[in-house]
Amino acid sequence: MQLAFDELGTPLRDVTFVIVDLETSGGAPGPDGITEIGAVKIRGGEVLGEFGTLVDPRTTIPPQIVELTGITTAMVQSAPPIDQVLPAFLEFAAGAVLVAHNAGFDTRFLRAACEGHGYTWPKPAVVCTLTLSRRVLSQADTRSHRLSALARLFGARTTPTHRALDDARATVDVLHGLLERVGPLGVQSLEELLDFLPDVTPAQRRKRTLAADLPETPGVYLFRGPNDEVLYVGTARNIRRRVRQYFTGSESRGRMREMVALAERVDGIECAHALEAQVRELRLLAAHRPAYNRRSKNPHSHWWIVLTDEAFPRLSVVRSERDGALGPFGSQARARTAADTLAGATGLRTCTQRIPARAPQGTPCVLAELGRCGAPCAGRQSVDEYAHAPRQIADLVAGTGDTPLHAARAHIDTLAGDGHFEQAARRRDELVTLLRGVGHAHRLSALAAIEELVAAAPDGTGGWEFAVIRHGRLASAGVARRGTPPMPVVDALVASAQTVLPSPGPLRGAPAEETGVLLRWLTTPGRRLVRTSRPWSEPVHGAGGWAPWLDKVATAATLENIG
Tell me which H or E stretch contains 222. Answer: strand 219-224
Q: In terms of DSSP bridges, do strands 326-329 and 303-307 run parallel, antiparallel, or are they unpaired?
A: antiparallel
Per annotation, catalytic residue among 117, 145, 162, 442: 162
The answer to whether 89 and 19 have CB atoms below 8 angstroms apart is no
Q: How far apart are CA 484 and CA 290, in angstroms?
A: 39
Q: Do residues 178 and 19 lie in contact, with contact meaning Cβ atoms separated by under 8 Å? A: no
Of 396, 304, 378, 385, nearest to 347 by C-alpha is 385
Among residues 396, 408, 459, the alpha carbon closest in space to that of 432 is found at: 408
**Nearest C-alpha neighbor of 399 from the set 357, 362, 445:** 445
The C-alpha atoms of residue 347 and residue 245 are separated, in whole angstroms, by 57
The residues, any chain, with a CB within 8 Å of residue 164's CB and separated by 6 or more, are 21, 22, 23, 36, 37, 38, 39, 52
Give catalytic status of residue 162 as yes or no: yes
Strand order in the sheet with 126-128: 46-54, 34-43, 16-24, 97-100, 126-128
CB atoms under 10 Å from CB of 396, counted, come to: 26
Sign for the CA dihedral angle at 86, 162, 99, 197 comes to: negative
- From the number of C-beta atoms within 10 Å of its C-beta (0-12, 13-18, 19+), residue 291 rates as middle
List active site positions.
Answer: 162
